[in-house]
Amino acid sequence: MACGLLFSAGKDSSLAALLLERFYDVTLVTAHFGTTDDWRHARDAAAELGFEFETLELDAAVAEEAVERMRNEGFPRPGIQQVHEAALEAAAAEYDVVADGTRRDDRVPTVSRAFAQSLEDRHGIEYVAPLSGFGRGAVDDLVETYLEVEQGPSETVPKGDYEAELRALIRERWGASAIDDIFPDHEQTRVRGRADG
Amino acid sequence: MACGLLFSAGKDSSLAALLLERFYDVTLVTAHFGTTDDWRHARDAAAELGFEFETLELDAAVAEEAVERMRNEGFPRPGIQQVHEAALEAAAAEYDVVADGTRRDDRVPTVSRAFAQSLEDRHGIEYVAPLSGFGRGAVDDLVETYLEVEQGPSETVPKGDYEAELRALIRERWGASAIDDIFPDHEQTRVRGRADG
């Protein structure tokens, strides 16, 4: 069964892919707005992991609305949540099974049971979140065993998905300092490939 | 890493085992009260699936309290929940990673984020629920592909875990009709082995 898994090249979505690969025909799907080429980081990581890769271009209006909201509210969560839901909707139009790497302890994005059920009913698909029953400790243990990961500030380890474009859009509109105001935590992970396990 | 997965011989805990087997050294663990030999159904199913198997004997007082509660309240949920939590506590004393087969849409047992975190902190373990991000449709699709399952009323397809003993205890105390009052839904599944996938 064809599964489109939202992929950022970070550790969570990569681990989600390993959990699902035995059960579904997994394509790693990176949502972007066509404004930067950061999606290439995701494409490269997908190739290192040995998965099919596809981009999903979201409407620029989604990014506009998200950054306005982030700027007004002073923190990224509601904007990131909104873009993640738009990405799930777009993936649900193309795959029988849609997945993401949300963890039990994630504060954003989160996918409520109600949103999951609504997505499934409206599109006639299944939504699966293989890490939603794993806490941070369990995820970290599995990542250390099964993945090669680099970690660092987002300037040197940019995410492969829409988050990098949202940062670029914020910089363009309100300057680099606005990024620091909105995203106080810069640490990102990017997967370089599989570990020996 | 050693993972003890609470196992009933039903489809959910069996599928959870398949999801985890690549990542952990999984032992299927069946909690029981030592009052019937229904745990043997779980042992046989574990052997068919090719997993290590262990029983975990819970204190009889847990069963007493659960059936009193079920009888008083007229439905099984709070009692089942209580026994499931006792089983998780017992498993957490023996394994580095404790798992179960709870699904996204389960009404009982459920494991809240707060209980999961508390279990992890108190025992220094990780709790993982690999199916908690899967809805009924996704579980059914995977079960159909990867498992051989028999389904029927609980008289002919008894569960392998504590639920069969709770039913027996209720019958002994209040007669067979009390079981029908408390458990209106009799359908159970029992796994016979793996499908070809």
Cβ pair A113:B104 closer than 8 A: yes
Residue among A1, A116, A137 whose CB faces B126 most closely: A137
Gap between the Cα atoms of A108 and A102, Å rounded: 8
For Cα atoms A129, A133, A134, give the angle at the middle one, nearest 5 degrees. Answer: 105
* Element spanning A38, H or E: none
Tokens of B101: 């087969």
Domain boundaries defined on chain B: 2-194
For residue B99, give how far its alpha carbon lies from the nearest alpha carbon of chain A (Å). Answer: 9
Gap between the Cα atoms of B28 and B40, Å rounded: 12
Tokens of A85: 């839901």
For residue A13, give how far its alpha carbon lies from the nearest alpha carbon of chain B (Å). Answer: 14
Gap between the Cα atoms of B94 and B123, Å rounded: 9
Residue that has been written with the tokens 């449709």 in this structure: B137
Query: What is the bridge-based pairing of β-strands B2-6 and B97-99?
Result: parallel
Q: What is the pLDDT of residues A134-165, one digit of tens each?
A: 999 999 999 999 999 999 887 788 778 888 89
Task: Render each residue's pLDDT in chain B as its tens digit; 197 residues.
Answer: 999 999 999 999 999 999 999 999 999 999 999 999 999 999 999 999 999 999 999 999 999 999 999 999 998 999 999 999 999 999 999 999 999 999 999 888 999 999 999 999 999 999 999 999 999 999 999 999 999 999 988 778 877 888 889 999 999 999 999 998 898 777 888 999 999 76
Residues 6 or more apart from B8 whose CB is under 8 A from it?
B30, B42, B101, B159, B160, B161, B163
Side-chain-facing half-sphere of A191: CA atoms under 13 Å: 31
The candidate with the shortest Cα–Cα distance to A11, out of A131, A91, A107, is A131
For residue B187, give how far its alpha carbon lies from the nearest alpha carbon of chain A (Å). Answer: 24
Considering the domain delimited by A2-194, tell me its CATH architecture.
Answer: 3-Layer(aba) Sandwich (3.40)
* Element spanning B105, H or E: none
CB of A45 within 8 Å of a chain B CB? The answer is no
